Structure 1
Amino acid sequence: MSLNRDMKTEMLLAWYDRNGRTLPWRSDPTPYHVWLSEIMLQQTRVEAVKEYYRRFTEALPDVRALAQAPEEQYMKLWEGLGYYSRVRNLHKAAVQIMEDHGGQMPPTKKELSELSGIGDYTSSAIASIAFGERTPAIDGNLLRVYARMTKEEENIKTGTAKKKAEAWFLKFMPEDRPGDFNQAVMDLGATVCLPNGAPECGRCPWREFCRAHADGTELRYPVIPPKKERRKEERTILLLVDETGRIALRKRPEKGLLAGLWEYPALEGKKSSKEVLSAVRELLGGAAGNPLPGGFDVLDLEFLPKAKHIFSHIEWHMTGFAVRVRKPAVGEVPLQWVTPQELFETYAVPTALVKYTEWIRDQFKITE
C-alpha cells in the first residue's frame, strides 16, 4: 500500500475512532448481531431500527432461537419494519445455518452469500465486521462517497459502477481492520457526506483527497437516474367487528406485496356506503339484498378517516368503514375473527394500515 493510500486509511480510521456512531449492534458484534442489524437496516433508518433490534434480540437471542421460532412470533417482532420478506429470509437462513453449518454462521463472504436473503452487500458486511475478511461492503453510503471522491460520471446504480467502487475501496482497506474500515465509510456517508445536496465537507477527513470538493461540484454526484412515478391505487378498508368485539382479518397471498401478512378485508377502488354494504354481504357469504347466512347481519356502518401509504413503487389512497355485524359463525367464511387483545399481541398487520389499527386501539382502549 502506497504512502498516500496509507495516509487516507489512517486518517479515515482515526476519524472513525473519534466520531463513529454508537449503535447497539456494534457493542457486541457477534455474527448473529451483525447479520440481524444489517438486514433490519435495509430500507430502514438507523433510529427506527434500534428498538426493533432490542426487542428482537431479547426474544430471539441467537440463531437457534430464530430457527425454532414460530412464524407468528418473528412476524410480530418485525411488525412495523416493513419489507417482510426480510424476516422470512432471516428465518429460512437460520434454519439453513442449523441444518448445514452446525448452528455456526459460515465465516466467508462466499458461504454467507449462499444463505437465504443474504446478497453481496450483506455477506461483505458480515464477513468483514464479524470475521475480519477484507471485502468492501458496497451500500448507498459507500457509493456516494466513492462518486464524490472520484467524480464518477456513470449512473451509480449500475453494476459496472458498483464494481469500480468495490475495487477503489479495496485499495484502501487495511488487513487488520476491514470491518472498521467499512463501518467508517458507512458513517462518513451517513453523517458527513450526506445525500440530497447537504454534504458537510468541513467535517470530512477525506476532503483534501476529494475531486468533487476540489472544484465545488459535490452536489452533482452521485449520478442517479430520475425515479419512476409511483402507481396510485384507491382502496376501501373494512373493519368488520362482531357484537362480541372480535375483528375480522384475512391473510394476504404468500407472494407479492405484503406477502403472508394479516390485513383487514379491503376492496379495490373508492366505494360508497351502499357498495360497501353489498360487498360485506358478499364477503360474508350472502347475496346482495338477501339475509346473510349463519345469523350474520349488518348492524351499523361508520365512516373512518382517509389514509395514505407510500411503498417504493405504489401509493395506497385509502378510505375506511367500520362495519358492525351480528353473530359471525366461525368457520363459515374465509376470515379470521380475533379479539382486540389477540390482534395487538399476536398478529402482524402492515404499517400501511396503522391509522385503522389505531382506530381499533382507541375504540377498545388497548394500552401499549
Structure 2
Amino acid sequence: MNNFIFENDTKVYFGKGCVKEYLSSVLSHYGKTVMLAYGGGAIKKNGIYDEIVEALTAAEKTVVEFAGIMANPTYAKVLEGAARVREKGVDFILGVGGGSVMDCCKAVSLAARYEGDIWNDFWERAGIVDLEPLPLGFVVTVTGTGSECNGGAVITNEERKIKTGRDYPACNAKFAMLDPVYTMTVPLRQTVSGGFDILSHIMETYFSEPNEDNVSDNISEALMKSVIHNLREVIKNPKDYTARSNLMWAATMAENRIIKLGKRCDFQCHQMEHQLGAYTDCNHGEGLAVLHPVYYRHIYKDGLPKFIRFAENVWNIPREGMSDEELAKSGVESLAMFIAEIGLPTTLTELGITDEALLGKVADSCNIAPGSYKKMTAEEIRQILKESI
C-alpha cells in the first residue's frame, strides 16, 4: 500500500434510541447557545424535531433555529448561517438531517470564525485552516453522503455556477448520532438515491490506483456487495431495520477516509455530476446513477485489472470463455442493470435534462480529476454527457 496519515476524531453513537440515550448528556460539554440546523421541516412532521428539542431542553440550552437548508446548499445559505451564529452568539451547531444539512453546517462553522471570503480562500481553491471552526455535531436522518464522519462540504456558488467540495479535518463534527430508525421517515425514492450515492463513493475510490493487492480495495469490495444486497432488501421492505442499519454504516465507512487510505481516488464522475447539479439542481444520487455506467464505458479498458475484479468479486460473474475486455465490460453492464432494477433514472432525459448547449457549459466548467484511469478532457466529458441523454 502507499504511504498515508490517518485522522478521524468524530465520535459515533450508533443504533436504535441512541439520540434519546446520549444527546442531552453529550451536549452538556458544550456552550449555552446551540444553533439547531435542519432542512425543509420534515423533522417537525415525523417527531424527530420534538425528540431533539426535548434533549436540548434537558441540557438547558438556548436554541437558535436555522432552517431551510436546501438539497444543494448554496454559498448564500452558508453566509446566512454564519451571520446568525455571530448575531446570536452561538456556541455550538447541531445539524439534523442528511448530507446537505451536514455540509452546510460544516461550511457555516468555518465561515463563522473566519474574517475573509471562505469561498475564495477555501472552496475556489484548497486552503489551510489555521483557526478553530465553531464546534458542531450531527444527528443523521438520511443515509447516503457519509458526511457525518469527515470534514467535507459540497457547496454551490449560484452566481458562478460552481458546485464543489473540500474536506478539511478541522471541520469534522465532534460527534455523530446514527439511529437507523430515523431513516424510515424518508421517502423510498430518497433512500434509494442516497443508497446509490454510497455505492458511488466506494466506486470512485475503488476504481483508482494502486491496482496491486491492498486492504482498501478488499474492504471496498465487501462494502459494495453489502450496499447492493441491502438496497435490494430495503426496496422489498422499507421497514427492514437490519438492511437500513447496514446501509447507514456503509455510508459512513465509504466516507470516513478508511477506504481511501493508500488510494489515489477518482471522483471524476462526481465532478461531472456536481457541475450538472450547479446548472440544473438535479438530485445528486440520480445524476450519478445516470453518469456512472456511461463514464465507465469510456474508461474500463484503461483500468482493466480493476474492472475485471469488479465483475468477478462484486457481481460474481464467471469468466466462461470471455476475454479480459468482455469480462470487465460485463461488470459495467451489471452495474447499469442494477441501476434500472432499483428504479433509478438511466438517462438525463428522465431528469428533464436534454439541452445539449447547457451540457456543453457543464463540460467546459467541469474539473478534471487527476485520479481517473483515463485522462479526461472537456471534449470527452461533453461526449459522456451527450451519450447520457
Whether TM-score is above 0.5 comes out as no
Kindly name which structure, 1 or 2, has the bigger radius of gyration based on alpha carbons.
1
Please classify the TM superposition score into its range, dividing by the shorter chain length: under 0.3
Larger fraction in helix: 2
TM-score normalised over the length of structure 2? 0.25
